[in-house]
Chain A
Amino acid sequence: MPTDAPCPPDVLAGIADLELVARIVVEGLVSGLHRSPFHGYSAEFIQYRRYRPGDDLKYVDWKLLARTDRVYTKQFRETTNLAASIVIDTSASMDFPAGAVTKFRYAVIVAAALASVIAGQGDAAGLVARDAFLPPRSGRQHLRRLLALLASLTPGGVWGGAETVRRAADRLGRRGLLIVISDFYDDEQRMAGELRRAQRMGHDVAQLQVLTRDEIALPYGRDVEFADLESGARIPVNPALARRGYRDAIAEFLERTRSTALAEGRQHTLLVTDTAPERALRSFLLARQT
């Protein structure tokens, strides 16, 4: 009997075949979407958008400026293939929690699903990680290569997020879509700077922030000694005493990341690993359609 219930993340994480995982996620995902959530700068006019620094002046609607004294740029549906590059965080901080669906595995599933959606539209999808690069191309063969590369990635060490984003933006070439999947625990200023730079280069930038419920709520009961997954540093903490301060701090961090992204015209979506990937991606894609 068919059911609309999304497949749980732990079930998906247990399937080794990433192509199959991507297909499962995409099948549950695209049923609710009416048209392509990814659109570039095409000749087909779609909508007006408030001008942002860095926008090409040739898309400014001067007549509208003359009538309303407001600067709007015109957005077009691109008739040519969209070039999307997925940047995935492979730092050790993504290898959490142990013994459950890690953030990294969740990010890989999301990336595979997104690549499948993009490739399914006939657009080009590429992948950038710390030590891996696959330029955006279309076609099933390329998608298989991308999924194979995704499956071969392992988390560990530090990521160098800003440098990776810079490299991805530079190699994306013409204006395209840059999807960054990370927990964004890197240097906030440098990362935001690189993302802004990518936007100035004309790329559409989307941030998918992946976190676990434990990182948000700090639900530990007894005394623990937290060990940093990247640096190895340790601090003893009584969660009962530290919980309030921690929750406030991480909530502030999430809000800062989200508001900064939105203020600068980047799409930001928080993905929690106990949420079904279809559900999380649907909210992301629906936000892109509006």
Chain B
Amino acid sequence: MVWLHPVILFALAAVAAPILIHILVQRRAEVVPFPTLRFLRSTAIVSIRRHLLEDRLLLALRIAIVAAAVTAVAGPLLVTRARRDVWNRRIVRATVISGAPTASGGASRDGERVVQTREFRGPSLGDGIRRALEWLDAAPPARRELVVSAPLTIGSLSAADIADVPPSVGLRFERVGTLPAERTVSYGRVRAVDGSIEREVTLAGAQTSVRDRSAGDPKAGADRGFPLDVLAAPPARPFVDAAIAAVLGERVWSPPEAHRARLVLASTEHATAEVSAGNGDMQPWIADAIVRLTRDADLQHASARAAGALEEPRFSQAPWVTVARSRDNRLLIAAAASADRLVVVSGAPPSDVALPILVRGIVNAIAGVADIVPLEIVPIPDAQLTAWSRPAAPPPTPRIDRVESDDRRLLWIAVLGLLLVETWVRRAARRDAAPAHVEESARVA
């Protein structure tokens, strides 16, 4: 048996009320004026005890009434095998639709009894799935099924969306409609000399077009808001500024606020002492950034032609990671993670062309731009959909507030019945208490 509001069962303590009332009321006998007491003998103690015995039935009835009422309010439900069988035979279906309406999404299949069905449309399949799951959670006890009816292109549905669906909810996919002719997606933000720019990519078949739109950040081009902090000796500063200006002129991806980096030009003696690295715990985005740097072909090519080297042996050891080597195969650029930023040390001369390439590489690396390939209009493979599909499982223990018929009505009927019996018993007791003419009538008359 399950309960809708088990907390209410604490109210069963209310059965003490009729007991207390019974005891208190019984101790006050009715006062009856009588002509003379000379023929009467007091029977006070016996009388009270006797009444407690006489009215035990009435007391039991009242306790039962209170207990049944409290139990009914608490909402009991007997989960019997027959009831479970009924629940298992029916199905509640939510259909998430994207694109044109479908004729098959809410249709019943062989042998199943669909008790409720509803369609959900939204800006995305993920949003529709979320709302469908909320509705399924509030549905009456039945097998629950989620049908996704859409063209099902890559990007319209992710593994994370599927992971949110509880295991007991069945999943079915229906590929309907045609693939969209084009798709326009936001593709991040880039930095330029004249400010920050929102980039939008439209994919239409084999043609891909990019549209930039100013995001209105006039100071974005200044070194002050630049995500890369360069430590260099004063003589090297003009080279650094020129490198940053060159990079902004070429435009680079704008990293998130929390992604910061520091470049130390180790060829300058003053900067060497400030190089430090973290304790070895590396944040995922820093690791990704280091990997991107090591795979930056332009950087590797420029480094291979540069002179200079990082002479200190510690840059060859952990936690430092070698990013690039010089033309004589000596360590030229190394990277490591500090507590909150990526630290890159370069042994290349500031005047070398490797510097602006390194600056661009670092900024792009910490920006972490997503691959555009998944955004192309390609259907999710059937094998993937089959892997995600599963039948609806029998419903778990249902929430009683979602049950259409429970056992409360039986208890309320019991309460009414007990009230009738209590009334009858009370009236019968009152009739017994009323003056009755007895056998003395004949004798006296």
Binding site for B on A (CB under 8 A): 93-94, 96, 98, 103, 183, 185, 211, 213-217, 219-231, 233-238, 240-242, 245-247, 249-251, 253, 270, 272, 274-275
Residue among B40, B46, B48 having the largest count of chain A Cβ atoms under 10 Å: B40
Knowing A103-B35, A272-B444, say if A223 contacts B29 (CB, 8 Å): yes
Knowing A217-B440, A223-B47, say if A185 contacts B35 (CB, 8 Å): yes
- Give Cα A222 to B29, complex, Å: 8
- Give Cα A216 to B26, complex, Å: 26
- Give Cα A246 to B35, complex, Å: 13
Binding site for A on B (CB under 8 A): 26, 29-44, 46-48, 50-51, 429, 432-438, 440-441, 444-445
* Complex contact B42–A216 (CB within 8 A): no
Among A219, A223, A225, A246, which residue has its beta carbon within 8 angstroms of that of B26? A223
Among B35, B40, B434, which residue has its beta carbon within 8 angstroms of that of A242? B40
* Complex contact B40–A219 (CB within 8 A): no
Knowing A220-B433, A275-B445, say if A185 contacts B29 (CB, 8 Å): no
Smallest beta-carbon distance B92→chain A, Å: 59
Q: Which residues of A contact B43 (CB under 8 A)?
A: 236-238, 241-242
- Give Cα A246 to B43, complex, Å: 12
Q: Which residues of B contact A237 (CB under 8 A)?
A: 40-44, 47
Smallest beta-carbon distance B241→chain A, Å: 108
- Give Cα A236 to B194, complex, Å: 106
* Complex contact B31–A221 (CB within 8 A): no
* Complex contact B440–A213 (CB within 8 A): yes
Smallest beta-carbon distance B58→chain A, Å: 12
* Complex contact B37–A233 (CB within 8 A): yes
* Complex contact B51–A235 (CB within 8 A): no
How many A-B pairs have beta carbons closer than 8 Å: the answer is: 127
- Give Cα A92 to B437, complex, Å: 24
Among A211, A225, A253, which residue has its beta carbon within 8 angstroms of that of B29? A225
Among A221, A227, A238, A253, which residue has its beta carbon within 8 angstroms of that of B34? A227
Smallest beta-carbon distance B351→chain A, Å: 116
* Complex contact B48–A235 (CB within 8 A): no
- Give Cα A216 to B433, complex, Å: 16
Smallest beta-carbon distance A119→chain B, Å: 29
Knowing A93-B35, A103-B35, say if A246 contacts B40 (CB, 8 Å): yes
Task: Provide a sorted-by-A list of 16 A–B residue pairs whose CB atoms are within 8 angstroms.
Answer: A183-B36, A213-B435, A215-B34, A217-B440, A224-B29, A225-B30, A226-B40, A227-B31, A228-B34, A229-B33, A229-B34, A230-B36, A235-B42, A237-B40, A247-B440, A249-B38
Chain B residue nearest to A103 (CB atoms) is B35
Smallest beta-carbon distance B44→chain A, Å: 4
Knowing A217-B437, A223-B47, A235-B40, say if A98 contacts B444 (CB, 8 Å): no
Knowing A217-B437, A222-B29, A236-B29, say if A241 contacts B47 (CB, 8 Å): yes
* Complex contact A228–B50 (CB within 8 A): no
Among B39, B40, B44, B437, which residue has its beta carbon within 8 angstroms of that of A213? B437
Among B32, B36, B50, which residue has its beta carbon within 8 angstroms of that of A238? B50
Chain A residue nearest to B47 (CB atoms) is A238
Smallest beta-carbon distance A234→chain B, Å: 7
- Give Cα A245 to B50, complex, Å: 18
Residue among A213, A238, A253 having the largest count of chain B Cβ atoms under 10 Å: A238
Chain A residue nearest to B437 (CB atoms) is A213
* Complex contact B29–A96 (CB within 8 A): no
Chain A residue nearest to B45 (CB atoms) is A236
* Complex contact B435–A93 (CB within 8 A): no
- Give Cα A148 to B33, complex, Å: 29
Since A241-B43, A242-B43, A272-B445 are in contact, a sample of 6 more A-B pairs with Cβ atoms closer than 8 Å, ordered by chain A residue number, is A227-B31, A229-B36, A231-B37, A233-B37, A238-B51, A272-B444
Chain A residue nearest to B38 (CB atoms) is A185
Smallest beta-carbon distance A243→chain B, Å: 9
- Give Cα A241 to B48, complex, Å: 12
Chain B residue nearest to A222 (CB atoms) is B433
- Give Cα A224 to B30, complex, Å: 5
Q: Which residues of A contact B46 (CB under 8 A)?
A: 238, 241
Chain A residue nearest to B436 (CB atoms) is A219
Chain B residue nearest to A235 (CB atoms) is B42
10 tightest A-B CB contacts, nearest first: A238-B47, A221-B433, A236-B44, A93-B35, A249-B39, A223-B29, A226-B34, A219-B435, A223-B47, A222-B433
- Give Cα A251 to B46, complex, Å: 24
- Give Cα A251 to B40, complex, Å: 13
Knowing A220-B433, A236-B43, say if A225 contacts B38 (CB, 8 Å): no
* Complex contact A214–B435 (CB within 8 A): yes
Smallest beta-carbon distance B333→chain A, Å: 105
Chain B residue nearest to A254 (CB atoms) is B444
Smallest beta-carbon distance B367→chain A, Å: 93
Q: Which residues of B contact A227 (CB under 8 A)?
A: 31-34
* Complex contact A215–B35 (CB within 8 A): yes
Q: Which residues of B contact A247 (CB under 8 A)?
A: 440
* Complex contact B32–A225 (CB within 8 A): yes
- Give Cα A222 to B434, complex, Å: 9
- Give Cα A111 to B434, complex, Å: 31
Knowing A185-B36, A223-B48, A241-B43, say if A216 contacts B444 (CB, 8 Å): yes
Q: Which residues of B contact A272 (CB under 8 A)?
A: 444-445
Smallest beta-carbon distance B199→chain A, Å: 94
Chain B residue nearest to A241 (CB atoms) is B43
Among A211, A220, A249, which residue has its beta carbon within 8 angstroms of that of B32? A220
* Complex contact A236–B434 (CB within 8 A): no
